[in-house]
A and B are shown apart, each in its own frame.
Chain A
Amino acid sequence: MPTAPVPDLIPAIPEIWVGASALALLLYGVFRGNKHTREVAWLSVLVMAVAAVLMFAVQDGRQVTFSGAFVTDDFAVFAKSLILLGSAVALIISQGYIRNEKMERFEFPILILLATLGMMMMVSANDLLALYMGVELQSLALYVLAAFKRDSLRSTESGLKYFVLGALSSGILLYGLSLIYGFSGTTNFETLAALYSGPAAESPSIGLIIGLVFLIAGLAFKVSAVPFHMWTPDVYEGTATPVTAFLALAPKVAAMALFARVMVAPFIGLLDDWQDVIIVISMASMVFGAFAAIRQTNIKRLMAYSSIGHMGFALVGLAAGTEKGLQGVLIYLSIYLVMNIGAFAAILTMRVKGTMVESIDDLAGLSRTSPMMALGIAIFMFSLAGIPPLAGFFGKFYVFIAAVEADLMVLAIVGVLASVVGAFYYVRIVKIMYFDEPAEPFERPIGREMSAILTGSGILTLLFFIYPAPLVGWAQTAAAALVP
């Protein structure tokens, strides 16, 4: 009997570690019961931290393993750092909520851990099948998380809605993948890149292009870009707030990074064919995100439209299809992550007399009841609006520069206009906080972890402009790893 060659496991050590730890924690949780949810949660955070350390320890340029299904390079490391950061922070800021709302079940951190594993697999995918499996692992965990607060009708409804639409989009994605496979005869990114770089790229078969469009549609759903955004506001509003925070953080980054990888790594030769599609969904997302958010009264719903808009901005960088553009995407995602961490941490502190509130009017007069918090939210809102010199401005700056350099003037102009419109609703929140009559004050104190995270992300957002070089440089190396 021939002995099976053992694949090189070293590049995948972080994933293996996260997967194995998730199983171990699951056993721990089952045996210790729900009373020990807090321990499981902190252990999960520890697992993610260790995974990050492992990831940097084994990082060594571009490594491909598992018969070409798995790749780790600077791009993957960059994206995974953001994902691990987002997931860990989402888990930390959810602790208080979970305790107060009697949602203490040990599966919550474990599902987050498994979703994180799926996201790490997504950004490391080097094969259409690996891509799909990663997406499924992540999505399935997210569907369950969305319905996690099962005694709440809205949470269950949002979970169901997310599941049905998500399953449909997975089907579309899979159909696209199968078409691509059918027309190219391979699922491997490198082979695809070789196949569609030379003369074959001049006249790709129509079937492949259709497959690519299906693929883009499926992924656009995952990043909630218009016109595949319908689930976002409902799911964000209905589900438990920490889950909303989680949904807005890591999965967005992961899906966007995956989007960038799958468009650029195998199909950069077909840039002319897919660029227009990306431009259209990018413009639509930016414009729709800006206009639809104006009338919102619920802060979670508002954040949903905001995230649709932000994904539109990130797609601008991808539409450029250049190294500069990808660098812009990565910078944008990093800054988006930090701003949203702050914003959602703030939303999670909105408790009045033992219940969560999520209306924008509840923020009224916050500057008088808790000035520091109001200042923090104001920073995040200004940054989300993209007002210089806050971090959010630089995110937009880099993607627009890339778009202009790639001769996409119209896209850049639409983007700037959309961010002007978008600024209106962000600034409205600041106005409500500073100039309206105070509403019921929020419960204080908010806890040490919360204040630490709020302060940290606030400072990062505020002072990013002083020393942006490390992030910009790192993003450049990461982007260079992807573009041949």
Chain B
Amino acid sequence: MIVGAIAFYLFAGMIIASAVMVIAARNPVHSVLFLILSFFNASGLFVLLGAEFLAMILVIVYVGAVAVLFLFVVMMLNINFVELRQGFLQYLPIGGLVGLILLIELFFVIAAGITDPEVVALASAPIPPLSDLTNTEALGQLIYTRYVYLFQTAGMVLLVAMVGAIVLTLRQREGVRKQSIARQVARTREESIEIKTVTPGSGI
């Protein structure tokens, strides 16, 4: 088990370290790269928990898709972080205070979760033992039965986001010549070329 413990502290430590670097790095691209590192380690923690499906999905969705677009945008925008940082010290006390309050509340939650037996009993445990099902199946059975309503609603929310993005940004430009592959393919010899017999000396 010692290897498991070492791996846990390695992953957890790396998450925290890279999370700190995300906000501390001077270069925004470095920040995104550290963010990716942090995602990656989080997925390592999932593997340690035996939730390999979640681990892989985390890598595929967040690292493989979301963070790429992040990086894409950050690389294109050329943000000047030094300017953004100017108010940092000024807002540090209030920001730190808010963070501290949230942290204390989190500790409350954890303490209550450990001590209150009623809460523990109430927290439903619909996860079947690992030996019966792979966790992919277990997740699927929960998402598509018990939480199907929320799952479908989440789909609707994403649809609205997509429609919104298109509504607010798509502009049909006038006068753009578009390639119509169907038309190109459907072109026949008869309609595209014309054979003229040229008599010598007269031109066309």
Contact = CB atoms under 8 A, between A and B. Distances in A.
Contact of B105 (A69, A118, A144, A207): A207
A185 B123 contact: yes
A469 B31 CA distance: 64
Contacts, number: 109
B160 interface: yes
B47 to A, nearest CB: 25
B146 A67 contact: yes
Interface stretch (B48-56, B61-69, B106-114): B106-114
B136 interface: no
Contacts of A19: 152, 156
B160 A141 contact: yes
Contacts of B150: 69, 129-130, 133
B73 interface: no
Interface in B65-100: none
**Interface majority SS (helix, strand, loop, mixed), chain B:** helix
B157 A130 contact: no
A436 interface: no
B interface, size bucket: 35 or more
A140 B144 contact: no
A58 B15 CA distance: 51
A53 to B, nearest CB: 22
Contacts of B57: none
B112 A133 contact: no
A interface, size bucket: 35 or more
Contacts of A368: none
Given A69-B150, A141-B160, A183-B119, A147 B168 contact: yes
B122 interface: yes
A291 to B, nearest CB: 29
B9 interface: no
Contact of B141 (A2, A136, A137): A2
A150 B167 CA distance: 9
Interface in B95-136: 102, 105, 108-109, 112-113, 116, 118-124
A19 B149 CA distance: 12
Nearest to A5: B145
Given A130-B153, A184-B122, A110 B163 contact: yes
Given A4-B141, A137-B157, A183-B119, A207 B112 contact: yes
Greatest chain B CB density within 10 A among A121, A134, A137 is at A137
List the 10 shortest-distance A-B pairs measured between CB atoms, nearest first. A144-B164, A182-B109, A66-B149, A185-B119, A133-B153, A185-B122, A185-B123, A207-B108, A67-B146, A107-B167
